[in-house]
Amino acid sequence: MNAPDTGRMTGQRSTTMKGKDACDACDAREGAALCGSETAALAAFARVHHQHRYLAKQTLYHEGTPALGLYVVCRGRIKVSRADGNGREQILRLVDPGGVLGEEALIEGAQYVGSALALEESRVAFVGREELLRLFQAHGGMAVNLLLHLCRELVSTQANLTRLALADARSRMAGLLLELGRRYGQPTPEGMQLSLQVSRGELAAMVGLTPETAMRLLSEFRDAGIVRTDRRQVILVRPERLEALS
């Protein structure tokens, strides 16, 4: 099964890759949720998945639509989020190369709980639900790898929920910047530069703040010499100060 076509709703269509990149040569394989499996399982996965290329801002799937299969990020970065009736967004997580999304498909008749959007040009492998279940039955180690990955995601989600429920706005923003620094930070003479370019609104949506509050806090951090900002770019100048605030 190919990935569902969201082009009718978005005005854009993903591009089906005519030639699959070899899974065993993929840079994201090490530590990946599925692709780090043994050779036989990896070969079986390569036979059943379909690769698609998404441009930045293209949608993989929409919240509330049938969960038809699992997505594995090969390259790029995907945002999974939910929106309320007023259009306010809550970003649930960012999925990097080697990560998976659409795991709701493991539950029969389930719907996707959020919408998935490419933050940058991305290449994603899609496996339909039935093919995935047959793959797990034949290669139990791959199922165990996915289970361990989902457990790590659950622990991370619980930590994020605790932060949202108990921390004040300043602590939430400081903690988020530290987390993004650990995941996407690149050392520079000025400090730790985030390779992930996100808008102020997206930063706010990750920690349950309004864009206005996020902008005010970033301005405070900048004036205090803790960070430097330039449009969508953020540099952590004094991460130890963020640690103290988080």
Q: Residue 116: what pLDDT? A: 98
**Do residues 235 and 222 touch, judged by C-beta distance below 8 A?**
no
| DSSP code per residue over 60-80 | EE-TTSB--EEEEEEES-EEE
Q: If pLDDT is split at 50, 70 and 90, which confidence band does 164 have?
A: confident
3-state secondary structure of 37: coil
Residue the block writes with tokens 């902008």: 215
pLDDT at 65: 97
Please state, in angstroms and rounded to a whole number, the distance separating the CA atoms of residues 43 and 33: 15
Per-residue pLDDT tens for 206-240? 999 999 999 999 999 999 999 998 877 899 999 99
In tens, the pLDDT along 65-85 reads 999 999 999 999 999 999 988
**DSSP assignment letter at 111:** B
Q: Which position has the higher pLDDT, 182 or 17?
A: 182
Helix (H), strand (E) at residue 134: helix 129-138
- % of the chain residues with pLDDT over 70: 87
pLDDT of residue 84: 86
pLDDT at 11: 47
Instruction: Kindly indicate the confidence band of residue 243, based on its pLDDT and cuts at 50, 70 and 90.
Output: very high
Torsion angle, CA of 127/129/134/136, rounded to 10 degrees? 80
Per-residue pLDDT tens digits for 90-126? 999 999 999 999 999 999 999 999 999 999 999 999 9
Mean pLDDT (the chain, rounded): 88
Reported confidence tier of residue 33, pLDDT bands at 50, 70, 90: confident
Question: The whole model's pTM is what?
Answer: 0.86
Q: Is the pLDDT of residue 148 over 50?
A: yes
pLDDT score of 8: 47
Higher pLDDT, 30 or 96: 96
> For residue 233, what pLDDT is reported?
86
DSSP conformational letter for 38: -
